[in-house]
Each structure stands twice: as structure tokens, then as C-alpha cells.
Amino acid sequence: MSQTRRIILAFIVTQLMVVAVAVYLGFAVQEYHRQRQGTQTALQLTASASPPLSPTYTFPSTAQHQTWAAQAQTAYPISPTQYAIWTETAQPPTIDPNAPTPIPLPVWLAPSGEWTRYTHPIYGYSFEYPSNWPVSEEYIDDGVSVVNYDTSLPGPAPKDGNGVNRLRLSFGPTVSLGNQSLENFVEAYFVANPVSEILSHEGLELSNGYSIVKVKVKIFMSFEGGLIVFLTDGNSVCQFSAYDLKSRHINVADHVIESFAIP
């Protein structure tokens, strides 16, 4: 190829590159002006509407929009609630009148710090429990249970894979102690109701004259364990359980023990 042809070819290639760059810059400038025009025309003030727009929306809450809002308030002496910023991509939400109403689901309840006394209608024993926890008398053998979620809402109990949120207190019927000791009663109980493992066993005498035995047990593999408490006034025995031992609310069981009363 001769030197002249090389020069002509290089010139043609250079011109094509210049044209390509010019076209690209032209599109870029056009897009810039389009977006700028769009955002400028998107700013609308309620001060220019009569009556003012209602409800007032601010979309979205970005530094750019806040700057526009500040400029708008400088130009128009209006309150912060009297302007709305509208953009091409942010519009006031639309509500479908036919959309189903969301159904609230149960959530775990921490103790409110206030206590309510419950008295069993058949056995007469009573105890205090957190006022914001529901009581259910539909437990087996005329027993009663207290759980820390709202049972009036539809759906099952909330999920709690590690057991730190849930606490269920379950109270059985009152039975006669007879001539045996509380320790013998507890031993016979676990013969009739075996558990996977007994983690600890503790007998105590309370200041109100009651004797109690607290047994920490493991029943199901999914549970860290539970607490089973036996209380007696020397004549009758009341028994209740608390699951899960890992619950951050397990100390509620101690308040139940301290407030427990046998008729």
C-alpha cells in the first residue's frame, strides 16, 4: 500500500471516530436536558394550588429533594407541610379498595411488669401472672395454661426456633398428698410420667410454710428443657410446669411460686 493510501485511510478512520464521539455526546446531552427538564417540571408547590393539595406527599426524602424544598420555602413563604415534591419515578401510593385487609398474627409478649391474680374455679388455688398474658382454662384434666402470646388472634403460636422467647406455664389439678412425703410423691410422679432426663432436683421450704420441689427436666429433643414444680401445704399437692428453660422470661416461674396460694 502506498504512502498516500495510508494517509487517506487514516483520515477516514479518524473522521468516523469523530462522528461516533459526536453522536454519543449528542445523545448524552439530550438525555441530560431531558432529565433536568423532567425534574424541574416535577417540582410542584401546594402554594400554587387552591385549595392546597391534600394529602401532601414528599417523594423521596433525598438530599436533592430537601434542597429543592428549602429553595421552594425561600421563594414561597409556606410551611413544611404545604408543599409536595413529585418526580417521574415517585408518585402517591394507590390503594386497591378490593385488596384484603392484612390479618394480624400473634407475636411474643414480654411481661408488662404488672401482675394479675388467677383463681382456679374448681381447685381454688391461685397465683399471679403477667397481666398482658392470656389464661386458657381449656387445658387437660381441668388444668389451666398461661402463654406469652395473644391467643385471640388467628394463627398458631409465633415461631421460636431457639426457645428464648416462648414461655408456657401449665397447671394441673390439685391432688391429695395422703400419708406420703412430697419427695415420695415426686418420685412416683416420674415413674408414671417418665422424661428423657432429669437435669436437676431441688427441695425448698418457703416462708409461707409451703414445701416445694423444683425439677428441671428434658423431654423433647427440640426443647432445652422444662421446669416442673410441686407445691404442698402438707395436705394437697399442686403441680405446674414451665417451658422453655432457655426462655428469657423463665423468672416469671419464680414469681408464680412466691405468689402461689393453696386454699
Domain ranges of the chain: 3-85, 115-259
- One-letter amino acid at 107 equals V
How many Å apart are CA 92 and CA 60, to the nearest integer? 10
- Using the Cα atoms of residue 156, residue 159, residue 162 and residue 163 in order, give the sign of their dihedral: negative
What pLDDT score was predicted for residue 117?
Answer: 96
What pLDDT score was predicted for residue 160?
Answer: 72
Cell digits for 143? 388444668
**Beta partners for residue 214, in sequence order:** 202, 229
Backbone angles phi, psi at 216, to 5 degrees: -95, 130
Nearest CA among 259, 240, 247, 255 for reference residue 148: 247
Residue 71 has a CB neighbour count (10 Å cut-off) of: 11
Cβ–Cβ < 8 Å for 241, 226: yes
φ/ψ region of 51 (left if φ > 0, alpha if ψ in -120 to 50, else beta) reads beta
**Cα distance between the two ends of the chain:** 117
**Measured between alpha carbons, how far is residue 105 from residues 150, 161, 181 in Å?**
9, 17, 46
Hey, is 170 helix, strand or coil?
strand
What pLDDT score was predicted for residue 44?
Answer: 45
The second-level CATH assignment, the architecture, of 115-259 is: 3-Layer(aba) Sandwich (3.40)
What pLDDT score was predicted for residue 17?
Answer: 72
Q: What is the mean pLDDT of each run of 10 residues along the chain (263 residues)?
A: 62 65 60 49 43 42 53 48 43 66 80 94 93 82 86 76 83 91 93 87 90 88 78 93 89 94 89
Rounded to 5 degrees, what angle do the CA atoms 56, 58, 62 make? 170
Cβ–Cβ < 8 Å for 177, 188: no
What pLDDT score was predicted for residue 250?
Answer: 92
Q: Which residue has the cell 404545604?
A: 82
What pLDDT score was predicted for residue 244?
Answer: 83
What pLDDT score was predicted for residue 103?
Answer: 73
What pLDDT score was predicted for residue 157?
Answer: 76
DSSP 142: G
